[in-house]
Amino acid sequence: MADNRPIGVFDSGIGGLTVLREIWDMVPGEGTVYFGDNGRAPYGTKSKSTIIKYSLQNMRFLEDQDVKMIVIACNTASAHAYKVLSEKADIPVIEVVTPGARAAAKATRNGKIGIIATKGSVNSGVYKDAVERYSAPGTEIYQQACPLFVSLAEEGWWDNDITAAVCREYLTPLKEAGIDTLVLGCTHYPLLSDAIRKFMGSDVVLINAGKAVAEVVRDTLNAGSLASDGIDPVRAFYTSDEPELFEEIASPFLGRGLPAGTKHFNTDRYEV
């Protein structure tokens, strides 16, 4: 018996599209409803209580779209709000921190792992804890907040001199620590992969959690008998700012043209 309800995916804005593209590639027959909270983005500089409130509102909206699963496609929201959301939901909730942490623990050869993320994610300590949980004892973990990276990704400065200088500023301590694995702990960062790789050197493995998250989605669908019949899957997009603005900036993150018809919705009308 197929379950043709779509998968609900939310993010603070457009960064989660780097996760959505991996879900589309991994389970192409599944429908998806994406909500980008662009009207309140970014989340990375905001407090835990605020992010929990926004995430609960976003989840309520996706539940109202009759989704069969929630994907928190935002590292800051995953770090701060996953626990609350998974307790409140009657459907599976997938977050992006654990899959990336597990992939990093698996990838390292020298036991030195770096994590770059927003201030919110770094301060939460959730990423560090997750990497530790999956790593051999004695693994050394180095965290670095990289607040400018989000602006650079959104400005389209993915690999220029300024981005190189910002990489040098943020990443020098990680390079000097001799890490061999670096978690891109924010959904914006994959767009800066080339610049990050140039600075860190090609020996350092960059972990983009998107693919690992898509694997968890696939496994959860299979384990829960939630897979669809693959016929004509829906591809819906909602944003809390203006659809035109969303459509203007989305494509580089999605890695392809965005289907037309993004709709506006304010999740702030949900009392949580």
Q: Can you give the binding site for a copy of itself, defined by CB under 8 A? A: 38-41, 45-50, 147-148, 150-152, 154-155, 157, 161-162, 165-166, 169, 240-242, 244-245, 268
Sign of the dihedral through C-alpha 22, 98, 92, 236: negative
Please identify which of the residues 74, 93, 96, 254 carries the catalytic annotation: 74
Question: Would you call 186 a catalytic residue per the annotation?
Answer: yes
Gap between the Cα atoms of 237 and 9, Å rounded: 10
Closest approach, Cβ 39 to a copy of itself, in A, equals: 5
Q: Which is nearer to a copy of itself, 161 or 203 (CB)?
A: 161
Please identify which of the residues 186, 204, 205, 207 carries the catalytic annotation: 186
Gap between the Cα atoms of 187 and 14, Å rounded: 9
Gap between the Cα atoms of 7 and 67, Å rounded: 5
Matching residue, tokens 């309800």: 5
Q: Which is nearer to a copy of itself, 178 or 261 (CB)?
A: 261
Nearest to 195 by CA among 155, 172, 166: 166
- Up-side HSE of residue 187: CA atoms within 13 Å toward CB? 38
Gap between the Cα atoms of 16 and 254, Å rounded: 9
Closest approach, Cβ 14 to a copy of itself, in A, equals: 11
Q: Which is nearer to a copy of itself, 234 or 245 (CB)?
A: 245
Question: Would you call 146 a catalytic residue per the annotation?
Answer: no
Closest approach, Cβ 242 to a copy of itself, in A, equals: 4
Report the SS3 class of residue 190.
Answer: helix
Q: Which is nearer to a copy of itself, 50 or 110 (CB)?
A: 50
Q: Which residues are catalytic?
A: 74, 186
